[in-house]
């Protein structure tokens, strides 16, 4: 899918009555599983991508790295990819450059947050976190909108006002500013253990932007609550990876303890299942067709005129 | 430019009465100079790209590397990029995968040659070179045509029949097969010191494909000869890089010999000129506009409705 | 760890009486879990790495890609990384180039297999697989040994004789040739459902090379069988990833079905656990120390002489 | 060469009585030309590397990109590579991570400057530039020294005090602080048209650090002036690239104007010369030896014991 069609699909999800479900992913494989499970779009998760590298989620990995993973995922699935772009990897110039790159690689939209560069994961303790000024962040939103080529490309503005303890009023003030500046959706982030403050935000927010939530710290939020509060999208940002870590630990411990993988096999997907996710059979079928066609063209037994040949090959 | 429009532009060049000029390049900077000089398209040259890495042109660099350079060039210019893809980096499956990647990165078309993998540069002595079978190569052409999403994407089939000494008849036989298999243009390569054998090919070739030539070893071929022989495109494949090497050697020697760069300055482009090629002023102007807009949105003095805001920002 | 010390460690594992356990991994995170679980070394698995990209294990991903993943893993763990290098990504020149690259990136050794390029995963049906000639593969082993800078770098020669149905005698003949050519260890691969043919090989093999096995298709092989048959290393090549896929599917389905992640939480590792694997606290502690030291140097209250300063800082 | 030996070589250059000459480079090819010309070390130039990408020198390219180019150059030459690392790509955590990466990739040392992230090229007009606080920059120097594994790895601290107009006294104050914090050398940057302010700095500077200068804007500075002022290293930071641009423009214009490359040939290096810089003949000679050896091992006519075989192969 081109970036433009992906962007249109993401925009449609945000505009729909039914809350969209986004699933955090960190690889084409995890994105494909999310797609097969029925999720509506992929959240190219900064936490997951940095965790897979065993490196803190603190802008140590570069835009090049996050971009490559997001682009690889966009190639592998037919649902749109919304990219977690932290605070935009620097200033307005970095944001402009970033959007040129992300859009050209098939990404449907970017989410930028109003913290300073380098950002630190919102759930990390041990360091005071600071908001960027509203002016600076509004300028970044302008940079996104000016850089995008397709009208449909999506800019999700994420405010960390609740994360840094700036309060609900500041979150609402920023929501209004970001909407004016051109944002296409608003992500209200929270690290509270319950959804109250996020839900209170949705009640008081009078703007027109679709609202996105990320119930990592408040897992009790139920899907049925979303529509009731006018929430447009929910992002399950890191649960896939957290299940992977648990599974790999258990599996590897079992291998050492059992001395064999025999008893583990029923809990694993088969090699054939892995191959299917890689598209091995599709590849082999295609290659047999190409080789047969190649032989035919040489034998002279298929002196097709070019237009017909193109049609025929296209159907392989 | 999207890959599709780039592909259409390349197709138009190949179909035009005026022979198109392609310039070999190895970086966005060299591609941009070629564009500014008036060349019609960019040849993402395998020799240049490997030479810049100081690594033999023998498929030691991988598809990832060639793809990244070609994609970076496509981003930097408005003329189409035709990618030198050697023998397709493996078998039909590699070719299929390659086209998916190249097309999604904004490349207008690929050129594949009928040698085996790993290829060795056609001008290298010291190792006998072998053609792939016509069947195998025809299958690769089928793979290109099946993999491309846009109808305009271009497949240039390059025959090395003259390079390996297989003779004119074999070159003509392969031209016919490759045309049947769906190639969009034919590159007839030669390492002769004069253009005779290439021109003889053009006289005897009765097919309908546009013909492309690469006068590296036969520099006497003049542009005016091309139209006379129905040649559609000429690729000056490596002259930019060869001038760079000469210039860097001379400059560096002068620095050591002179003990200063004072006398060299008139022969160099200025730092300001370098900045201009990087777009520094454009970036700074844009960033000032974003910052001014950001400040306005916060001050509340520009409570624009979103649609108008988008229009205004777009004009920054 | 430098490549040299990693290589020495891998060599020691292969020379030990106790069979070494290698765990397949595809990312720094999975490698770190394997290290924490007690595995002796990491198998940078071609199948896992390609599966994560949702691309067939057929040399569609390039050496650059496999190298980057293997190098990232080597950075993240203190146990050696043995890299699955398929058939060496081409001919002897590719192998020579490959070893220069892998060794310089901290990899302890490479495993190359005697199939042709592009390779197809040994367990894939639907295409007949062919061995490279023994001459060609012996030449590749020579290329590895000539390219390595450290005497300890390890070349594991993997024969696919049993995989392609060439029989036990051919496997034994090749084992002898590969040993003569300089291989440091021998991997005997099999896709039989039981370990018989592999164990028969170990009984008949009279050479001096350490033997490595990969019990993917014959999971009943027990660790206690290895020493009894003089096997030096067992590679559990893909079980970590296969458990990930199962876990992600189950988790994602539960999210959709439950409408919340609340009930899933107990099965997932915590965010704090993810942070610990990323080293977030270590990073924050270090940065506080740097900032405190920076302030001291400016205040002039710590006019340390440089040598002492260096010592002090090193202890941060 | 390993990073450690490269670092020792760079340290020796900085400690020598004879001023060292560093040449700016942007690719393995340009680095190799500098080495062949007799330069002592390579300056992995941020300006050159960004200019080659036709992207402003403003931290739009990421650390990954600069690192890859620097590492590729380090692989290609036997003289040390000093990497221009701008302001360290972020905060102290970015610097720590950066040094881990650069040192593991064979780089001899890094140069960081006391501007804020994202940096803008020091010669760019149109935007006021600001220094980072001395505290912040001293903390970054501490981060470099704590991250390096080899005692020899070099940290060049570059002060932009003169660039931003903060004056000579501030430059001297910062020099003292940076020395205390553990810097191994001091780069005093200037955009004056004459060398006076830089030379005045060297006269007033009473510290013990080697001093490095970059006479881009003051080309009249002569090599013989350096020793007289106790300057340890001079960096010719961008002249190679500036000669390339001039050469490519002239060459490409000539191709269009002449209609042939015939008259240009004498000004270009030959294809054979390009091959020599790529090491094509070395590669082909090696591959013939590997293939001959491979054949011998199979024929059984060379049943060498392994240790001898290794010796023999090593000599190929």
**Complex ipTM value:** 0.94
pLDDT score recorded for residue C305: 37
Residues of D in contact with B55 (CB under 8 A): 28, 278-279
Burial environment of residue C166 by CB neighbours within 10 A (0 to 12, 13 to 18, 19 or more): middle
pLDDT in tens, C51-77: 999 999 999 999 999 999 999 999 999
- By the CB < 8 Å criterion, does B55 face chain A? no
Confidence of residue A1 (pLDDT cuts 50, 70, 90): low
Q: Mind telling me how many Å the CA of D113 is from chain B's nearest CA? A: 20
Distance from CA of C249 to the nearest CA of A (A): 6
pLDDT of C299 reads 83
Compute the average pLDDT of residues B166-186. 97
HSE of A183 in the Cβ direction (CA atoms, 13 Å)? 32
Tokens of A37: 């499970």
Q: Residue C162: what are its φ and ψ, rounded to 5°?
A: -70, -35
Give the neighbours of chain C: at least 3 Cβ pairs within 8 Å.
Answer: A, B, D
Confidence (pLDDT) at C300 = 62
Nearest to B55 among D238, D250, D278 (CB): D278
Q: In which band, very low, low, confident or very high, does the pLDDT at C40 lie, cut at 50, 70 and 90?
A: very high
How far does the CA of residue D113 sit from the closest CA of chain A (Å)? 17
pLDDT above 70 (res A302): no
Least trusted range by pLDDT, from B90-94, B201-205, B308-312, D153-157: B308-312
Establish if A260 touches chain C: CB-CB under 8 angstroms: yes
- Cβ–Cβ of A264/C53 closer than 8 Å? no
Q: Choose among C137, C291, C298: nearest Cβ to D134.
A: C298
How many angstroms separate the CA atoms of C79 and C44, rounded? Answer: 12
C189 vs A292, C51, C225, CA distance in Å? Answer: 31, 20, 17
pLDDT at B315: 42
Q: Which of A255, A264, A277, A288 should be substituted to probe chain C, the one whose Cβ sees the most C Cβ atoms within 10 Å? A: A255
Contacts of A223 in chain C (CB under 8 A): 259-260
CB atoms within 10 A of CB D209: 20
Please state at what angle helix C63-76 crosses helix C28-37, rounded to 10 degrees. Answer: 40
Residue B270: its chain D contacts at CB < 8 A? 242
D5: number of Cβ within 10 Å: 15
Task: State residue B314's pLDDT score.
Answer: 44
To 5 degrees, how large is the angle CA A111–CA D128–CA D219? 120
Give the residues across from A187 on adjacent strands: A158, A212
Asked whether the beta carbons of residue C297 and residue D145 sit closer than 8 angstroms, the reply is no
Give the confidence band of C312 by pLDDT, cuts at 50, 70, 90. very low
Alpha carbon distance B181, A302 (integer Å): 9
Length of chain A: 316
Q: Any bridge partners for residue D22, and if so which?
A: D41, D235
Contact at CB, B64 and C65, closer than 8 angstroms: yes
Cβ-based neighbours of A307, under 8 Å, separated by 6 or more: none
Cβ contacts of C302 on chain D, cutoff 8 Å = 180
Contact C182 D92 (CB under 8 A): no
> With bands split at pLDDT 50, 70 and 90, how would you rate the model's confidence at B299?
confident
Residue D303 has pLDDT above 50, yes or no: no
Token pair 């591609």 is found at B31
Q: Is D21 on the interface with B (CB under 8 A)?
A: yes
Query: What are the backbone angles phi and psi of residue C177, rounded to the nearest 5°?
Result: -60, -45
Residues constituting chain B: 316
Known catalytic residue at C57: yes
> What's the whole-number mean pLDDT along residues A138-161?
97
pLDDT tens digits, residue range C129-183?
999 999 999 999 999 999 999 999 999 999 999 999 999 999 999 999 999 999 9
Report the chain B residue with the minimal C-alpha distance to residue C118.
B90
Of residues D92 and A313, more confidence is placed in D92
For chain C, give the percent of residues with pLDDT over 70: 94
Most D CBs within 10 Å: which of C65, C290, C295, C296, as the mutation test of the D interface?
C290
CB contact under 8 A, C146 and D286: yes
Return the SS3 of C150.
coil
Q: Tens of pLDDT along A259-289?
A: 999 999 999 999 999 999 999 999 999 999 9
How far apart are alpha carbons D131 and C218 in whole angstroms?
64
Q: How far apart are CA D210 and CA D14, in angstroms?
A: 6
Looking at the DSSP assignment, which residues form a beta bridge with residue B21?
A: B234
- pLDDT at residue A312 in the model: 41
Determine contact, residues C313/C302, Cβ cutoff 8 Å. no
| ∠ Cα A277 A281 A287 (to 5°) | 130
Residue carrying structure tokens 């356990």 = C21
The reply to whether residue A29 touches residue C245, judged by beta carbons under 8 angstroms, is yes
Interface residue A195 vs chain C (CB under 8 A): no
Cβ of D97 within 8 Å of Cβ of A65? The answer is no
Q: Is A252 on the interface with C (CB under 8 A)?
A: yes
The distance of A197 to chain D (nearest Cα, Å) reads 32
- The residue with tokens 């009928």 is B114
Measured from the Cβ of residue C316, the count of other Cβ atoms closer than 10 Å reads 16
Q: How far apart are CA C65 and CA A28, in angstroms?
A: 14
Eight-state DSSP code of residue B266: G
How far away is chain D from the Cα of B277, in angstroms, using its nearest Cα?
Answer: 6
Contact D63 A65 (CB under 8 A): no
Nearest-Cα residue of chain B relative to residue D35:
B252
Name every chain D residue with its beta carbon within 8 A of the beta carbon of B278: 50-51, 54-57
Could you say which residues from 135 to 174 on chain A have a Cβ atom under 8 Å away from some Cβ of chain B? 135-143, 145-146, 151
Confidence of residue B310 (pLDDT cuts 50, 70, 90): very low
pLDDT score for A173: 96
Nearest by CB: A246 against C121, C261, C268: C268
Radius of gyration of chain B (CA): 23
* Three-state secondary structure call for residue B132: coil
Residue range C291-308: mean pLDDT, rounded:
66
Q: What is the pLDDT of residue D306?
A: 36
Tell which residue, C148, C121, C122, C116, has the closest CA to residue C134.
C116
pLDDT on residue C310: 39
Chain C CB within 8 Å of residue B56 CB: yes
Chain C residues touching residue A27 (CB < 8 angstroms) = 52-54
Q: Catalytic residue among A17, A40, A57, A225, which?
A: A57
Q: Is the pLDDT of residue D305 over 50?
A: no
CB-based contact, A90 to chain D, within 8 Å: yes
* Whether residue D118 has a cis bond before it, omega within 30° of 0: yes
* Secondary structure string (H, E, C) spanning chain A: CCHHHHHHHHHHHHHCCCCEEEEEECCHHHHHHHHHHCCCEEEECHHHHHHHCCCCCCCCCCHHHHHHHHHHHHHHCCCCEEEECCCCCCCHHHHHHHHHHHHHCCCCEEEEECECCCCCCCCCCCCCCCECCHHHHHHHHHHHHHHCCCCCCEEEEEECCCCCCCCHHHHHHHHHHHHHHCCCEEEECCCCCCCHHHHHHHHHCCCCCCEEECCCCCCCCCHHHHHHCCEEEEEECCHHHHHHHHHHHHHHHHHHHHCCCCCCHHHCCCHHHHHHHHCHHHHHHHHHHHHHHHHHHHHCCCCCCHHHHHHHHHCC
Check if B208 contacts A (Cβ < 8 Å).
Answer: yes
Q: Do C94 and B64 touch (CB under 8 A)?
A: no
The C-alpha of A226 sits at a distance from chain C's nearest C-alpha, in angstroms, of: 10
For residue range C86-123, what is the model confidence (pLDDT) as tens digits? Answer: 999 999 999 999 999 999 999 999 999 999 999 999 99
- Interface contact flag, B243 D248, Cβ < 8 Å: yes
Residue-level pLDDT at B300: 61
φ/ψ of residue A23, rounded to 5 = -115, 130
How long a stretch of residues is chain C?
316
In DSSP terms, which residues pair with C296 in a beta bridge? none
Measured CA to CA, the distance from residue B230 to residue B202 in angstroms comes to 7
* Mean pLDDT confidence for A229-250: 98
Distance of CA C306 to CAs B220, C286, C297, D181, Å? 65, 20, 11, 8
Chain A partners of D68 at a C-beta cutoff of 8 Å? none
| C129 phi-psi bin (left φ>0, alpha ψ -120 to 50, beta other) | beta
C-alpha pair distances (Å), A85 with each of A81, A184, D122: 12, 15, 28
Given pLDDT bands bounded at 50, 70 and 90, which one contains residue C2? confident
Is residue D142's pLDDT more than 80? yes
* Digit-coded pLDDT (tens) for A30-46: 999 999 999 999 999 99
pLDDT at position A69, please?
A: 98
Distance, in Å, from the CA atom of B6 to the CA atom of B41, rounded to the nearest integer, reads 10
Q: What is the rounded CA–CA span in Å between residue B3 and residue B109?
A: 9
Q: Best interface-test mutation with D: which of C102, C294, C314 has the largest number of D CBs within 10 A?
A: C294
Cis preceding linkage at A118, omega within 30: yes
Query: Residue D93 and residue A117: Cβ atoms within 8 Å?
Result: no
Question: Does position B311 have pLDDT exceeding 80, yes or no?
Answer: no
Confidence of residue A316 (pLDDT cuts 50, 70, 90): very low
What is the number of other CB atoms lying within 10 angstroms of the CB of residue D190?
24
Work out the mean pLDDT of chain D and round it to a whole number: 94
CA D200 – CA C37 distance, rounded (Å): 61
- Residue A114, CB-side half-sphere exposure with 13 Å CA sphere: 33
pLDDT of C308 above 80 = no
The residues near A143 (Cβ < 8 Å, ≥ 6 apart) are A88, A92, A93, A95, A96, A99, B286, B287, B290
CB-side neighbour CA atoms (13 Å) of D28: 22
Which chain C residues contact residue D313 at CB under 8 A? 142, 145-146, 182
Relative to beta strand D154-159, strand C185-188 is unpaired
- Output the pLDDT for position B162: 97
pTM of this structure: 0.95
Q: What whole-number distance in Å separates Cα of residue C29 and Cα of residue A169?
A: 40
Phi-psi region of C163 (alpha: psi -120 to 50; beta: other; left: phi over 0): alpha
| Contact call for D138 and C283, based on CB within 8 A | no
Q: Which long-range contacts (CB under 8 A, 24 or more apart) does C173-178 make?
A: C173/C134, C174/C114, C174/C134, C174/C137, C175/C205, C175/C207, C175/C209, C176/C207, C177/C134, C177/C137, C177/C138, C177/D297, C177/D298, C178/C114, C178/C137, C178/C138, C178/C141, C178/C209
Name the residues of D annotated as catalytic. Answer: 57
Tell me the average pLDDT across A136-150. 97
pLDDT at D312 over 90: no
Task: Please determine, for residue C304, whether its predicted confidence score (pLDDT) is greater than 70.
Answer: no
- Measured between CB atoms, does A280 come within 8 Å of chain B? no
Q: Residue D314: is its pLDDT beyond 90?
A: no
| Amino acid B173: pLDDT | 96
Cβ atoms of residues B1 and B45 within 8 Å: no
pLDDT of D126 reads: 85
Interface residue C303 vs chain D (CB under 8 A): yes
Contact A281 C32 (CB under 8 A): no
Tell me the shortest Cα–Cα distance from B133 to chain D, in angstroms.
23
Model confidence at D230: pLDDT above 60? yes
Cβ-contact C93, B60 below 8 angstroms: yes
Q: Please state which of the ranges A16-25, A245-254, B172-181, B306-315 shows the lowest mean pLDDT.
A: B306-315
């Amino acid at each position: 899918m081109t970036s433009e069609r992906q962007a249109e699909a993401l925009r449609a999800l945000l505009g729909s009555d039914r809350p969209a479900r986004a699933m955090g992913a960190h690889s084409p494989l995890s994105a494909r599983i999310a797609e097969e499970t029925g999720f509506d779009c992929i959240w190219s998760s900064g936490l997951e991508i940095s965790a897979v590298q065993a490196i803190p989620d603190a802008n140590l990995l570069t835009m090049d790295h996050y971009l490559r993973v997001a682009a690889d995922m966009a190639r592998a699935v037919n649902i749109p990819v919304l990219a977690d772009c932290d605070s935009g990897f620097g200033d307005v110039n970095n944001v402009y450059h970033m959007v040129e790159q992300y859009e050209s690689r098939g990404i449907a939209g970017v989410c930028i947050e109003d913290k300073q560069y380098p950002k630190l994961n919102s759930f990390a303790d041990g360091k005071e976190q600071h908001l960027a000024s509203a002016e600076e962040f509004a300028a970044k939103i302008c940079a996104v909108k000016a850089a995008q080529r397709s009208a449909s490309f999506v800019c999700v503005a994420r405010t960390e006002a609740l994360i840094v303890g700036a309060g609900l009023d500041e979150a609402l003030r920023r929501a209004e500013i970001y909407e004016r500046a051109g944002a296409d959706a608003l992500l209200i982030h929270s690290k509270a253990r319950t959804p109250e403050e996020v839900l209170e935000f949705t009640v008081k927010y009078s703007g027109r932007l679709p609202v996105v939530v990320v119930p990592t710290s408040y897992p009790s939020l139920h899907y049925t609550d979303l529509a009731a509060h006018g929430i447009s999208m929910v992002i399950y940002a890191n649960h896939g990876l957290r299940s992977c870590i648990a599974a790999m630990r258990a599996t590897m411990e079992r291998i050492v303890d059992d001395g064999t993988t025999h008893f583990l096999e029923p809990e694993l997907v088969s090699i054939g299942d892995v191959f299917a996710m890689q598209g091995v059979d599709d590849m082999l079928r295609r290659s047999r067709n190409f080789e047969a066609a190649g032989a035919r063209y040489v034998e002279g037994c298929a002196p097709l005129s070019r237009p017909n040949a193109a049609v025929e090959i296209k159907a392989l």
